[in-house]
């Protein structure tokens, strides 16, 4: 592929293949005796994607979960190499793809600024000159000398975003990062993004929030099952995505043995760790949020959303319900249920989500199972499926 200018992106026939091992791990004895190679399955996360982004353009990527959005962003960040096709990204690339990526948990905020800057190839003298500015933008002056493992997900995001914006990138890659943090700082990030764009910087933006894509981006790409469906003005691509969501909702409702179609769907449920990463494996007591994405073509007023958790044997462990949920017509909306410390002990758990009308008399949507989680315990003194989290008071006033 020909040379590209700083901030310019060209991709032709991009594909990314992963080989997934299907068999369980074996002992050395079994490997010697059985000898056959482990069974694998080929998965294409991306297939035949063409990409053209001009310097100074803000380009969005939308699609369902698993459509290949993050994989494409990781190709642009050179985290993955394309399995097929050609890709050229001009100039320095700054990325905020996973909150906390590139941070060492035991380093302080200041030390991680220097660490991230070295990863981007910046000299220490540059960081020396801009350190106060980076910390000030992240609003972390009081925590700059604390280990980042003590940071909340919002603090991770603020520091990571501030570093990414100060490395003088030609291309800035953002993946869902503005979904974390308070509204005031999100607005501050948007102002900085627009300032970066006005200065001629290129932005590639991935988000489940299509309103954010339409707000930030000039053009967008719609992916489905790793293939591009549509490229064009951001507002038109978002409308096309909404139309596919509405069609999918109607198709699924029509296939439910003649049952009447529901006005709402559970689009996605995922678990967000305290550092902002999306995963399904956690440690007992770890902070976590369950993120529920809902879609209602005609909107919903006074909805009731319930999240329940049960163990691998099917025993209900608990549920929580929120009332007066408002869903705007034709928009993906996000709810979050925050856990300051994960209440389950070691085991495998299933999350279910149900949406009902305001008085709870009619079920509008259900996802069961919506998500499966693995929890690992580090407390040898505890037992049972639930973490009590209590503290002992001993005779004489001592505590344990």
Under 8 Å between Cβ of 291 and 393: no
Predicted local distance difference test score (pLDDT) of residue 397: 64
Report the pLDDT averaged over residues 97-118.
82
Predicted local distance difference test score (pLDDT) of residue 256: 42
Residue predicted with more confidence, 1 or 250: 1
On average, the pLDDT of the chain sits at 82
Residues ≥6 apart with Cβ < 8 Å to 236: 230
Query: pLDDT category, 170, cuts 50, 70, 90?
Result: very high
Looking at the predicted structure, is the pLDDT value of residue 44 above 50?
yes
| Claim: this prediction has a pTM higher than 0.85 | no
Q: How far apart are CA 40 and CA 260, in angstroms?
A: 41
Tokens 């505890």 — which residue?
382
Pairing label, strands 363-376, 347-356: antiparallel
Residue 206 token pair: 């991935």
Predicted local distance difference test score (pLDDT) of residue 261: 45
The pair phi, psi for residue 234, each rounded to 5°, is -55, -45
Prior bond to 369 cis, omega within 30?
yes
Report domain 9-239's class. alpha beta
Q: How far apart are CA 155 and CA 292, in angstroms?
A: 22
Domains of the chain, residue spans? 9-239, 265-376
Give the fold, CATH level 3, of 265-376.
Coagulation Factor XIII; Chain A, domain 1 (2.70.50)
Predicted local distance difference test score (pLDDT) of residue 99: 60
What pLDDT digit, counting tens, does each position of 292-316 carry? 999 988 889 889 999 999 887 677 8
Q: How far apart are CA 366 and CA 24, in angstroms?
A: 33
The distance of Cα 137 from the centroid of its chain, to the nearest Å, equals 23
What pLDDT digit, counting tens, does each position of 232-245 carry? 999 889 888 877 76
Under 8 Å between Cβ of 238 and 213: yes
Q: How far apart are CA 112 and CA 147, in angstroms?
A: 9
What pLDDT digit, counting tens, does each position of 182-214 carry? 667 778 888 888 889 888 999 999 876 777 787
Within 10 angstroms of residue 66's Cβ, the number of other Cβ atoms is 14
Looking at the predicted structure, is the pLDDT value of residue 286 above 70?
yes
Q: What are the beta bridge partners of residue 322?
A: 305
Q: What CA–CA distances, in Å, run from 80 to 46, 69, 87, 287, 374?
A: 12, 13, 11, 29, 27
Residue 224 token pair: 């489905």
Same fold, 9-239 and 265-376: no
The pair phi, psi for residue 241, each rounded to 5°, is -65, -45
Query: pLDDT category, 32, cuts 50, 70, 90?
Result: low
Predicted local distance difference test score (pLDDT) of residue 57: 94
Q: How far apart are CA 373 and CA 224, in angstroms?
A: 25
Tokens 């305290």 — which residue?
274
Report the pLDDT averaged over residues 21-41.
59
Least confident of 180-184, 277-281, 356-360: 180-184
Within 92-160, strands assigned E span: 93-96
């Amino acid at each position: 592929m020909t040379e590209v200018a700083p901030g310019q992106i060209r991709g032709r026939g991009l594909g990314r293949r992963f080989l997934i091992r299907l068999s369980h791990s074996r002992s050395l004895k079994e490997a010697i005796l059985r000898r056959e190679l482990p069974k694998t399955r080929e998965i294409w996360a991306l297939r035949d994607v063409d990409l053209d982004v001009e310097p100074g353009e803000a380009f969005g990527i939308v699609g369902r979960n698993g459509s290949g959005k993050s994989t494409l962003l990781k190709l642009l960040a050179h985290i993955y190499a394309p399995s097929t096709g050609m890709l050229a990204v001009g100039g320095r690339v700054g990325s905020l793809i996973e909150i906390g990526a590139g941070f060492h948990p035991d380093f302080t905020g200041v030390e991680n600024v220097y660490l991230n800057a070295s990863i981007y190839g910046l000299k220490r003298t540059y960081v020396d000159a801009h350190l106060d500015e980076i910390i000030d933008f992240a609003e972390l002056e009081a925590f700059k000398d604390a280990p980042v493992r003590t940071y909340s997900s919002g603090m991770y995001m603020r520091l990571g975003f501030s570093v990414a914006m100060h490395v003088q990138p030609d291309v800035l890659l953002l993946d869902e990062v503005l979904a974390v943090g308070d509204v005031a700082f999100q607005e501050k990030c948007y102002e900085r993004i627009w300032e970066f764009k006005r200065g001629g910087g290129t932005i590639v933006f991935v988000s489940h929030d299509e309103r954010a894509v339409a707000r930030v981006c000039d053009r967008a790409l719609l992916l489905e099952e790793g293939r591009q469906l549509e490229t064009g003005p951001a507002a038109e691509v978002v409308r096309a995505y909404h139309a596919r969501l509405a069609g999918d909702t109607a198709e699924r409702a029509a296939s439910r043995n003649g049952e009447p179609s529901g006005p709402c769907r559970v689009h996605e449920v995922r678990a967000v760790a305290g550092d902002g990463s999306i995963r399904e494996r956690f440690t007992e007591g770890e902070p976590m949020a369950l993120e529920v994405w809902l879609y209602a073509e005609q909107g919903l007023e006074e909805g009731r959303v319930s999240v329940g958790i049960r163990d691998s044997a099917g025993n209900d462990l608990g549920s929580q319900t929120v009332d007066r949920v408002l869903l705007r017509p034709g928009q993906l909306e996000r709810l979050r249920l925050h856990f300051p410390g994960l209440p389950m002990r070691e085991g495998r758990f299933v999350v279910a989500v149900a949406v009902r009308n305001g008085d709870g008399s009619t079920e509008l949507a259900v996802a069961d199972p919506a998500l499966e989680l693995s929890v690992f315990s580090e407390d040898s003194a505890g037992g049972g499926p639930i973490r009590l989290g209590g503290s002992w008071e001993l005779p004489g006033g001592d505590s344990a």
